């Protein structure tokens, strides 16, 4: 297997609703990423999208984007893993290049959540029998948060700094949907209750967006980019499908397992990780992800936020450009935004949010209610 590097990135500003078509969004970021890499053609395209078949009546998204981007004739496949679809597309592109099957591959994610009813469609990432009984991703995360607060005797405002930090970081991200919104602890606690104890500002928004990255064999990366970033690890793990079937619903076993796999692949430990772009679709998921990755013991992840250790100057910065919560969570594109943002951080181009000399970053995506976990480690 060859080592693989990201040599080009492309991202569009996340919007609450865009007038651009799905195909135009996807094709435009593919072209941006290829332009950044200085290439006119790639050999494979892996596309991520979760909702287009339901919201836009469109399947076969990868071939559609390839054609629209002027790449007809290449391998083009759609990859799905619910909300972790973007990370799955990145993994497939990584494996294609690492195996030698392709010398240049692009991973692209696109989503238009503003058209139609996104929430019922997203709930299909759960067991259909649970959905029949009224379960949604919001209700499942509310149950987890309620249980967490009770079991570990956490104050009601114990998780408040997760959204506060995300919104603070988004203010310097030109691609963030909430870059103009000021949020503090009081704002979060005064926001509308969505499903007790989850408030509106504990949840990522419905939005539209697209992002892409071009991958090359590392041995040829400098030919395409003066600042390539290596993908040191790519790993996947799964848990019991239904939360209620897990021995401990507050432990993200798949997150823990995928992180350990990634650490072994990359030959790093958590102390080497300079920042962590986690899947903060809900505040409780940020908390549980930090614990599963070993940055805090079970029941103590919330203290990392309360003590402001997750901020840009903290010992484990997260959501450095706003995360899912404040940059936005256009599902199919989310992990590709994370990858683009990590590349900018590692190459010193993150603007006012630039961390001090980061060398290693970790990103993680969650499919369903903690069912599929995909972890990538990137470095320079």
- Using one digit for the tens of pLDDT, what is the confidence trace for 143-196? 999 999 999 999 999 999 999 999 999 999 999 999 999 999 999 999 999 999
Total domains in the chain come to 1
pLDDT band at 128 (very low <50, low <70, confident <90, very high): very high
Domain of residue 107: give its range.
4-118+204-379
Tell me what pLDDT residue 19 has: 97
Is 180 within a domain?
no
Of 70, 55, 45, 48, which is closest to residue 21 (Cα–Cα)? 55
Q: What is the DSSP letter of 181?
A: -
**Tens digits of residue pLDDT in 57-68:** 999 999 999 999
Is 93 within a domain?
yes
CATH number at residue 85: 3.40.47.10
Farthest-apart Cα atoms in the chain, separation: 58
Q: Indicate if the alpha-carbon torsion angle 294, 300, 305, 308 is positive or negative.
A: negative
Tell me what pLDDT residue 197 has: 98
Is 161 within a domain?
no
Q: How far apart are CA 370 and CA 296, in angstroms?
A: 18
Tell me what pLDDT residue 254 has: 98
pLDDT band at 122 (very low <50, low <70, confident <90, very high): very high
Q: At residue 315, what are phi and psi to the nearest 5 degrees?
A: -85, -15
User: What does the H/E/C string look like for 70-90?
Assistant: CCCCCEEEEECECECHHHHHH
Is 329 within a domain?
yes
Percent over 70 (pLDDT), the chain: 100
Tell me what pLDDT residue 46 has: 99
CB burial of 294-316 (b: ≥16 within 10 Å; e: otherwise) equals ebbeeeebbbbbbeebbbbeeeb
Is 288 within a domain?
yes
**Tens digits of residue pLDDT in 259-316:** 999 999 999 999 999 999 999 999 999 999 999 999 999 999 999 999 999 999 999 9
């Amino acid at each position: 297997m060859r080592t693989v590097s990201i040599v080009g990135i492309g991202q569009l500003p996340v919007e609450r609703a865009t007038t651009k078509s799905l195909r135009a969004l996807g094709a435009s970021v593919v072209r941006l990423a290829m332009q950044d890499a200085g290439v006119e053609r790639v050999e494979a395209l892996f596309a991520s999208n979760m909702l287009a078949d339901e919201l836009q009546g469109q399947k076969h998204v990868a071939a559609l984007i390839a054609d629209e981007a002027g790449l007809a004739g290449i391998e083009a496949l759609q990859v799905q893993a619910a909300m972790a679809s973007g990370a799955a597309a990145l993994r497939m592109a990584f494996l294609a290049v690492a195996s030698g099957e392709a010398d240049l591959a692009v991973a692209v994610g696109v989503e238009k959540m503003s058209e139609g009813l996104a929430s019922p469609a997203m709930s299909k990432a759960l067991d259909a029998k649970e959905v029949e009984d009224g379960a949604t991703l919001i209700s499942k995360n509310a149950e987890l948060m309620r249980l967490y607060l009770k079991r570990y005797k956490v104050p009601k405002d114990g998780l408040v700094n997760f959204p506060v930090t995300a919104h603070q970081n988004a203010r310097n991200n030109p691609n963030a949907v909430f870059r103009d919104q000021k949020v503090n602890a009081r704002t979060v606690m005064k926001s509308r209750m969505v499903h007790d104890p989850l408030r509106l500002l504990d949840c990522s928004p419905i939005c539209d967006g697209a992002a892409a990255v071009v991958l090359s064999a590392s041995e040829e990366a400098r030919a395409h980019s003066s600042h390539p970033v290596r993908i040191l690890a790519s790993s996947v793990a799964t848990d019991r499908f239904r939360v209620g079937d897990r021995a401990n619903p507050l432990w993200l076993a798949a997150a823990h397992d995928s992180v350990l796999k990634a650490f072994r692949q990359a030959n790093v430990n958590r102390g080497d990780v300079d920042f962590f772009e986690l899947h903060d679709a809900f505040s409780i998921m940020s908390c549980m992800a930090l614990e599963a990755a070993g940055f805090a013991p079970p029941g103590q992840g919330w203290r990392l936020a309360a003590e402001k250790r997750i901020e840009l100057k903290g010992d484990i910065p997260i959501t450095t450009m706003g995360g899912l919560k404040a940059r936005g969570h256009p599902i199919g594109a989310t992990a590709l935004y994370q990858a683009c943002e990590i590349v900018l951080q590692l190459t010193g181009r993150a603007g006012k949010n630039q961390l001090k000399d980061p060398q290693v970053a970790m990103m993680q995506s969650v499919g369903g209610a903690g069912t599929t976990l995909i972890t990538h480690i990137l470095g320079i």
